[in-house]
Amino acid sequence: MNAPARLGLYGLVLVAVFAVAGFTANAVVPEATVQAWVEETPEDDHRTDEHDGRDERNGGDEGHENSTASLGLGLAQDGYQLTDVSAPTSTADEGELTFTVTDPDGNPATGFELDHEEEMHLIAVRADGQHFRHVHPERDEDGTWSIPWQWEAAGTYRVFADFVPAETGEGLTLSTTVQIDGDYEPVATEPSAKTTVNGLDVAVEGDLVAGEASELTMTVTRDSEPVTELEPYLGAFGHLVALRDGDLAYLHVHPHGETPAAGETSGPEIIFEATAPTEGRYLLYLDFQVEREVHTAPLVIDTESSTDSGQDQEGNEEGEDHDH
């Protein structure tokens, strides 16, 4: 066999080998698993999320708000990393959810500041926004956080760790995903500015404008009567978690007003300030306390862009007086 023929045959063999290898990899490793590996890679924490590319146009913070880490979608940020996450794998299992936060030196972090009366806020929510939980695990001397845990339904969950390292005094939110075995039936997300939880009606008012600090007012009523017995919870009369629909990007939301004193009550309104990084739909979860019982009210609102808002306002003014 001459040299050109041998080279041609060798090339055909290589093509066949790579084809078989590619087929085998796809058969052994599901596509969803490969995608999860890509999403969970720590290096991705410093890349810009494709959804966040609009932040700068909406007045975002040139890069900081654009990073997936700053929106709570990364395993690591500023040298801190979420590690050793363990949880039950099915709804039938009862166990513990445990994890560790390592510091920039790679050691388990054990120094945390109190933030809203707790060192650690753990948020778990399914990909479709259902089965939201906001709890506070305990930390042992070795830096391992744990809490008794059982999942309510199957599906993919994002678990957030929201904390303030004592070394920096700056709040961080890290997260990872957990897959729970079983039949998963996603629930469609629709706008809902009102909801009822345990006989209490909760409504949200205010425009959530992308790229701007927006004021949202939560009002709690019972049988159409204002509830004025709201009790302090987590250092305020309410605690609000906001997540972007789709990727569950985590927004830091701050309540208005001074820290209430023990025994003080308020209501029916709770005012928050939130900044949506991009246009889209946002899932709101309001935790509030009445008669020593904590309630969680889920709400869903859509943003409006600052440009559209300005155009509407200009259009209204022109409609009232075309001479201006």
- The confidence band for 254, taking pLDDT boundaries of 50, 70 and 90, is confident
- Please give the Cα distance from 131 to 185 (Å, whole number): 13
The pLDDT assigned to 298 comes to 98
- Third-level CATH fold of 194-308: Immunoglobulin-like (2.60.40)
What does the pLDDT look like over 258-305, one tens digit per residue? Answer: 999 989 999 999 999 999 999 999 999 999 999 999 999 999 999 986
Tens digit of each residue's pLDDT (9 = 90 or more) over 102-111 = 999 999 999 9
Task: For residue 190, give both structure tokens.
Answer: 């629709």
Average pLDDT over residues 175-201: 96
- Weakest-pLDDT range from 56-60, 84-88, 182-186, 317-321: 56-60
Cα–Cα distance measured from residue 135 to residue 147, given in angstroms and rounded to the nearest whole number: 9
Q: How far is it, in rounded angstroms, from Cα 138 to Cα 116?
A: 15
Same fold, 34-180 and 194-308: yes
b/e code 242-255 from CB counts within 10 Å (16+ = b): bbbeebbbbbbbeb
DSSP, residue by residue, 291-302: TTEEEEEEEEEE
| pLDDT on residue 304 | 81
* Amino acid 252: pLDDT: 75
- Return the domain boundaries, the chain: 34-180, 194-308
Segments in the chain forming alpha helices (H): 3-28, 31-40, 306-320
Sign of CA dihedral 41, 44, 45, 46: positive
Q: Which token pair is 221?
A: 């009523």
| Residues recorded for the chain | 324
The span from the CA of 189 to the CA of 10, in Å, is: 55
Topology (CATH level 3) of domain 34-180: Immunoglobulin-like (2.60.40)
